Chain A
Amino acid sequence: MTELCSSIEAKLSGYLDGELTQQESQRVHNHLQQCEQCNQLYRDLKSMQQDVAQLEKKTMSEEQLETLMTDKPAKTFEWAGWLLLIGGIAVIVGYLAYQFFTQDTTALWLKLTISAIYGGVAFLLLTVLRQRLIARKTDRYKGVDL
């Protein structure tokens, strides 16, 4: 490769994209007429460019597009929702437990047994919920067809 060729080669992408000055562009154009090696490279670059341009572009559905303009990030809402839900439940459970232990006249051993049963049910529910959430997270990539 001559020195001229390497100086032209560096400009081939700019030439292809129409980003050279008129003078530079003319210089490359003239060289391509005479030099088969540079011309071959230029044709390769051009055909690759056409291939890339034709690559498929995934699109959003109308509804998805619509939510971009109306919704805040869904995540924020989801978080806020969960936080409110859990906070609310915690307050109610705490209040009921407090009442149960201080105001009810049932014997202490019975109170503890009943608490154990409720606690057990709640614990099982949480475990199931946790597994569900994990399953949902690992499922995320399932629907992807890249």
Chain B
Amino acid sequence: MTRIRVVNQLIQQHSQGAYAMAVQMLRCKDDAQDVMQDACYALLRQARLPKDSSQFRMLLFKVVRNKVIDRVRAQKVRRSESWNEESVAANEQQNPETYWQQQQAQTSIKKALAALSLEHRDIILLKDWQGFSYAEIANILEIEAGTVMSRLHRARLALRQQMKLSEGES
């Protein structure tokens, strides 16, 4: 396979996940699409790209995340309000009971996540939503591998605190 075909296949494989992350961070599908476009263009121009799938995915997330941050800085968009109420127009499922329970869990976790600092939210999402390993997270966030566990743990404790707070309210 030619280089371009390999790269295209890798982009196809991993860009949906990166897009979801960008939408979550930017709160705008158009902006997220723009960022993806920029990121893929930047990647395609690089002379050396990892052919290994998970290496490529890590690099893609890193580039996308940096582009998102650049854009947010430029626009001064406030991101902390992301992930608030969402239209519950989602398709009906066979079991309304479980569906409703899931929706409720999703809403309260979303609210709690929205209340976290960007630093805490990002690391939780990279791990639990996108499934990166600690080593990969260290690479994406450009931090020491040794600090991932403690930062993630602090983030989760903060999330738990938020969940408890909102439970107390309702």
Interface residues of A (CB under 8 A from B): 10-14, 17, 19, 41, 44-45, 48-49, 51-60, 64-65, 67-69, 71-75, 140-141, 143-146
Contact = CB atoms under 8 A, between A and B. Distances in A.
A19 B23 CA distance: 29
B124 A68 contact: no
Interface of B: 8, 11-12, 15-17, 19-20, 23-24, 27-34, 36-38, 40-41, 82-84, 86-87, 102, 105-106, 108-110, 113, 124-125, 127-129, 131, 133-134, 149-150, 152-153, 156, 159-160, 163
B116 to A, nearest CB: 11
A13 B152 contact: yes
Contact of B163 (A19, A48, A53, A67): A48
A55 B152 CA distance: 18
A48 B33 contact: no
A56 B106 contact: yes
B8 A69 contact: yes
B149 A65 contact: no
A68 B38 CA distance: 9
A71 B31 CA distance: 16
A75 B113 CA distance: 32
Q: Which of A14, A60, A75 has the most CB of B within 10 A?
A: A60
Contacts of A19: 133-134, 149
B28 A73 contact: no
B8 A14 contact: no
A47 B11 CA distance: 32
Given A17-B134, A49-B128, A55-B109, A140 B30 contact: yes
B34 A52 contact: no
23 contacts: A11-B149, A13-B153, A17-B134, A19-B133, A48-B163, A54-B106, A55-B110, A55-B129, A58-B29, A60-B15, A60-B16, A64-B33, A65-B15, A69-B8, A73-B34, A73-B37, A74-B37, A141-B27, A143-B29, A145-B87, A146-B24, A146-B28, A146-B86
Contacts of B106: 51, 54-56
A114 to B, nearest CB: 43
Given A14-B149, A73-B34, A146-B84, A58 B20 contact: yes
Contacts of A68: 11, 15, 36-37, 40
B122 to A, nearest CB: 12
Given A59-B19, A69-B11, A73-B41, A144 B29 contact: yes
